Structure 1
């Protein structure tokens, strides 16, 4: 069970009302150096947030990709309630290293008999040279947050979303080209992550996240200055839909076919193999890690 001390609750309240001036003078230091990319001088930003996912899985269609490299989401929020995530300054708001797709190219493409001979030849030549396929999560809309929901999952039936992420997945391999995406800015994969228990459509069953353990890290205990550290949190969603892939096979092989046809053949093969589009209730995101939250004023005050 998560333990939250009175001092932690008091600091959480302070984070809600803290605000930051609009001038920048230096770089955050000491314990607050982790928030150096936070837009803490924006007058709308009351708190800086840094969430690091260290493990989990992303299942889309019939393909499950493990999360084995840190995914970092950072920026600023107005308060710990519903708030847009203000983009990081000088660094990425969402940093998601490419992940290997299990099975590589053979795992996501199923060549069809109607493929032209040159396309078959190109496919097997690239499989022989480099079968690896990387998948990179890319944001396409501003994230929306509610850290209050993350710390205290609601039990009254209200919206439990702690973080809403609209993303696309970039699949990369020499055969797939550089424009093979699952999802688009107009039709993204929308994750409504929570630390409570989901209520997905069938066939998925409910799964539960974890708020983690929240503690106060005092940087000046005498003056009650510090930040919140949340360890062992898990955010989940298994109610989202995943659109089909498009733009795959955009390669220069000198094939005597039009690019739209090449796209249709290869993207169609990707969708058939991965099982896309995938309806809500057939996909799952589980993201475990830790979060740090600090008043923007405290970050500013630490500048050197």
Structure 2
């Protein structure tokens, strides 16, 4: 492993593609085994990518959820410039483990005194037994990338986005049911993550990401074959809006009220407590981790 200038590293690991030998279908091996879920046999895919977020936080409205479990983004890209992220094969493209919402059910629901008696009773009964609320990030549109912006943040005023993620946040607790979401496919939370400095609307103030340190990991140095490893990258965005929650309220509780009424009461309580909808300038995403990028030809050649 050797540290190299970013231009040299990117060129050596990504832009100088060796001729790939015809290989039988197999599994990538050695240092390329990590890219086994990349769609590297797709002729449109020039490189394989794995980005792992190990720490950070997501603030939506008045609630901040720490990132304390790895979030893995993986798949294939056409180029390190602007490119859609081609879905992983055999694994989630975005693997986001459920995160516990601070305060649990009590932290995201503010029951009103005029709630129907059965709903009030059900709420406090579940708080006493299952207060935990898990939040999972789910993509609802194809992810767009520009890893060149991560390596070389633009200084000419052009779009600095490294990854554009349109997602919804799934809130899960027996009281909330299985269809309680913040955002939707039609009205998602759109994150435009960058390693540069943001320019958010007030009351948020600018925050800065970090391109991290790029290293070329040589797997066959005489032939200059390797992959790019980027460590200590911090991606940020605090200019996005967050829509209201909807679909909350477990219709299996057997409550003697109509489902639309239940949804309105519980979703309304979630929105009141969390502070949703939240306009741009009141939300923040900070994601720190590392990334690995390899030419798909090298991944294919490593099959065994």
Q: Distance in 1 between matches of 2:129 and 2:67?
A: 25
3-state SS, counterpart of residue 252 of structure 1: helix
Give the aligned partner of residue 47 of structure 1: 47
Is the 1:20–1:43 contact (alpha carbons within 8 Å) kept by the matching residues of 2?
no
Output aligned runs, 1:131-170, within 5 Å: 131-170=131-170
User: Which 10-residue stretch deviates more, 17-26 or 241-250?
Assistant: 17-26
User: Which 10-residue stretch deviates more, 4-13 or 180-189?
Assistant: 4-13
3-state SS, counterpart of residue 190 of structure 1: strand
Distance 1:183 1:89, change over 3 A: same
The CA deviation at 1:24 is 5.8
Distance 1:127 1:45, change over 3 A: same
3-state SS, counterpart of residue 86 of structure 2: coil
Is the 1:3–1:213 contact (alpha carbons within 8 Å) kept by the matching residues of 2?
no
Give the aligned partner of residue 73 of structure 2: 73
The CA deviation at 1:173 is 0.4
The CA deviation at 1:256 is 1.1
Output aligned runs, 1:113-192, within 5 Å: 113-192=113-192
Q: Distance in 1 between matches of 2:64 and 2:22?
A: 44
Is the 1:19–1:47 contact (alpha carbons within 8 Å) kept by the matching residues of 2?
no
Is the 2:10–2:228 contact (alpha carbons within 8 Å) kept by the matching residues of 1?
no
Q: Does 1:10 align with 2:11?
A: yes
Offset from partner CA, 1:47-88 (integer Å, 9 cap, x none): 000000000000000000000000000000000000000000
3-state SS, counterpart of residue 273 of structure 2: helix
TM-score for both structures, normalised by structure 2: 0.96
Output aligned runs, 1:12-27, within 5 Å: 12-14=13-15, 25-27=25-27
Output aligned runs, 1:209-224, within 5 Å: 209-224=209-224
Distance 1:168 1:19, change over 3 A: farther
Give the aligned partner of residue 246 of structure 2: 246
Q: Distance in 2 between matches of 1:6 and 1:252?
A: 58
The CA deviation at 1:19 is 8.6
Ranges in structure 1 where 5+ consecutive residues have no aligned partner: none
TM-score for both structures, normalised by structure 1: 0.96
Aligned length: 302
3-state SS, counterpart of residue 120 of structure 1: helix
Offset from partner CA, 1:83-102 (integer Å, 9 cap, x none): 00000001110000000000
Q: Distance in 1 between matches of 2:239 and 2:22?
A: 40
CA RMSD of aligned residues (A): 1.7
Offset from partner CA, 1:166-198 (integer Å, 9 cap, x none): 000000001000000000001000000000000
3-state SS, counterpart of residue 253 of structure 2: coil
Ranges in structure 2 where 5+ consecutive residues have no aligned partner: none
Distance 1:256 1:296, change over 3 A: same
Distance 1:62 1:24, change over 3 A: farther
Give the aligned partner of residue 225 of structure 1: 225
Q: Distance in 2 between matches of 1:127 and 1:160?
A: 43
The CA deviation at 1:10 is 2.6
Q: Distance in 2 between matches of 1:263 and 1:230?
A: 45
Q: Distance in 1 between matches of 2:114 and 2:24?
A: 61
Q: Distance in 2 between matches of 1:71 and 1:24?
A: 32
* Runs ≥4 residues deviating over 3 A: 17-24
The CA deviation at 1:226 is 0.2
3-state SS, counterpart of residue 201 of structure 1: coil
Q: Distance in 1 between matches of 2:129 and 2:169?
A: 23
Q: Distance in 2 between matches of 1:267 and 1:24?
A: 53
